[in-house]
Amino acid sequence: MDDPNRSIECTVSKCRYHCGGCDYCSLSAVQIGSHEEQPYCAECVDCRSFEPKD
């Protein structure tokens, strides 16, 4: 298991950077963006650092 970054909480267990049994990301920083030109709700916001687990 990678070291959890306790500043970045994450529940996406299918991500390569998710820290196994705890709900944290192992990256030192993440990139956040949107697939919408004018985001208006939480579902419009994306973690652009996501990579699927192998």
**Residue 12 to residue 8: CA distance in whole angstroms:** 12
Cα gap 50→37, rounded to integer Å? 20
Query: What pTM was estimated for this model as a whole?
Result: 0.84
Phi, psi of 2 (to 5 degrees): -75, 160
11 band by pLDDT with thresholds 50, 70 and 90: very high
Q: What is the mean pLDDT of the chain?
A: 95
SS3 24: strand
| pLDDT score at 1 | 57
Calpha distance 39→54 (Å, rounded): 30
Domains of the chain, by residue range, sit at 5-47
What pLDDT score was predicted for residue 2? Answer: 79
CB count in 10 Å sphere of residue 19: 19
